[in-house]
Structure 1
């Protein structure tokens, strides 16, 4: 068909790409990049392996596509930290947004964690170009709040690391959390209350 490559993908093609990416997210989050195979992705998507390769060149392209899609979502909670807001409430709001992401996007959290644990071979450019300047900017905002006496003085960098560690834990170690809390239906609410108390005590001037 003339100029076929320039045409917008059909609804079926768009649907199949979404199926593949959703299936791959599940497979990568369970098995990691090295443990995942195109055969597993094909089975999870309900498509043949040749069909997968019609849309993507291989496992790495699928993985990179997922990481690229994830990065904006992953950074957004930090982006929305408002320099003009109430400092403590801004920090607590950030904690809550990160905890909500752990609940609502556990596969994405494990995909990100798996990439970082491998040394970020595919995400390193994003970390340098996107995360680093945002991280520096928000650390400066938090530091300015501390200098004004609106928050207790701690290292803003390690504060953010602590927020990541205490919220993403609920996604990355979900199997352990579920065993230890025995499917406690109040897990998310309990975690939110605990973390709000902890960071309030830490940061109240």
Structure 2
């Protein structure tokens, strides 16, 4: 008897293609929205401007995102998810020097590759965090306390100097996001047209050296 493979049916193939198109369009819209929101803020950005930057009809925009607020929140949710996931992998068993250096590298890579999303997040926080108020709830605070507890466990085990874990996390967040949020300041001071990949690499190594040494750790080779 012939075995029928459903994965090869036209409907399955068409569904896969549709899914790929949807993902591509959503990524295109999110990228365009990040550019517009970073340039003009939430109030100064229109759905029409985002559609034009994305090169899509405005109707397509509303198909994926029904309104501007939903799209704005999704742009920030996306970058927060990336940031938080990168911090989820730290465990008590890790070597703190290796783990913290890796986290700093990852956060700097986000700032280099997705600077606009970081800028939008910064503007939202500075303006009062109204659209993200539901994100920073008790579940998020519990997640944060869990991350700080890993650092405290390293301290208690004598693996690093006794410092305040909460403020160490704030320091890493602010210093790595500075390269995205204040890129215009950096390029004007350096006299460059943009912050280059080399700038990010040298900045990354500097942050690793300074932060780890301040924790009583030797940066990994």
TM-score, normalising length: structure 2 = 0.79
Equivalences for residues 158-177 of structure 1 within 5 A: 158-177=167-186
Matched, 1:46 2:30: no
Q: Deviation per CA, 1:94-135: give whole Å up to 9, x if none.
A: 212111111122122112212222222222222225532221
Given the superposition, is the C-alpha separation of residues 198 and 50 from structure 1 closer, same or farther in structure 2, using an over 3 Å criterion? same
Give yes or no for the alignment of 1:189 onto 2:206.
no
2:85 aligned residue: 76
- Total equivalences in the alignment: 199
* Structure with the greater alpha carbon radius of gyration: 2
Partner of 1:86: 95
1:202 to 180, 192, 214: 214
Partner of 2:161: 152
2:90 and 2:147 in contact (8 A); partners too = yes
Query: Hey, what does 2:107 align to over in structure 1?
Result: 98
8 Å CA contact 2:101, 2:208 repeated in 1: yes
Alignment gaps of 5+ in structure 1? 1-7
Residues 200/20 of structure 1: CA separation in 2 closer, same or farther (3 Å cut): closer
Choose between structure 1 and 2: higher helix proportion.
1
Range moving further from structure 2, 33-42 or 125-134: 125-134
Confirm or deny: 8 A CA contact 1:42 1:52 kept in the other structure. yes
Q: Give the TM-score, by structure 1 length.
A: 0.84
Cα deviations by residue, 1:40-82 (Å, 9 ceiling, x for unpaired): 2122122343443344332112112323333321201211223
Deviation at 1:147, TM superposition (A): 1.9
Q: Distance in 2 between matches of 1:19 and 1:199?
A: 36
Q: Distance in 2 between matches of 1:143 and 1:41?
A: 44
For residues 74 and 213 of structure 2, the distance between their equivalents in structure 1, rounded to whole angstroms, comes to: 40
How far apart, CA to CA, are the structure 2 residues paired with 1:193 and 1:13? Answer: 38
Q: Using a 3 Å threshold, how does the CA distance of structure 1 residues 10 and 66 change in structure 2: closer, same or farther?
A: same
1:67 correspondence with 2:108 = no
Tell me, in whole angstroms, the C-alpha distance in 2 between the residues paired with 1:17 and 1:99. 24
Taking the TM superposition and a 5 Å limit, the aligned residue runs for 1:2-151 are: 10=18, 15-151=24-160
Q: Could you tell me how far apart the structure 2 residues matched to 1:18 and 1:177 are?
A: 28
